[in-house]
């Protein structure tokens, strides 16, 4: 039982972090795929990670998958701490959310 609980805690910790990887497009530009899937994250976490990657230069969203972006470009991202699931089905919902961005 302790082993199962430990594995569950590790899985939650790992799923609680937005990730990114760089990709070189056919046009020569280097873009970034930002992922924030899992039950503890939302699209705000993807936006925060995109801001960390590009810093003060800003970024352009080229494509997105899953989740909804804020209605306004000036809206404050709702990232912050993890979204705690309210039920077992929310805990096991590993929705994939990704952004393809290009730093300005």
Confidence (pLDDT) at 33:
95
Residue 85 burial (CB count, 10 A): 14
Does residue 10 carry a pLDDT above 80? no
97 phi and psi, to 5 degrees?
-125, 125
Expressed as residue numbers, the domain containing 39 is 2-103
Number of domains present in the structure of the chain: 1
Mind listing the pLDDT tens digit for each residue in 56-99? Answer: 889 999 999 887 776 665 555 555 555 666 666 666 666 788 99
How far apart (Å, rounded) are the C-alpha atoms in residues 102 and 88? 36
């Amino acid at each position: 039982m302790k082993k199962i609980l430990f594995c569950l805690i590790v899985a939650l910790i790992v799923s609680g972090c937005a990730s990114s990887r760089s990709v070189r497009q056919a046009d020569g530009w280097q873009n970034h795929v930002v992922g924030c899937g899992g039950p503890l994250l939302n699209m705000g976490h993807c936006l925060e990670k995109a801001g960390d990657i590009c810093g003060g230069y800003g970024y352009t969203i080229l494509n997105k998958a899953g989740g909804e972006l804020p209605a306004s470009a000036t809206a404050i991202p709702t990232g912050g701490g993890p979204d705690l699931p309210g039920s077992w089905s929310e805990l096991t919902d590993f929705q994939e959310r990704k952004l393809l961005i290009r730093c300005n």
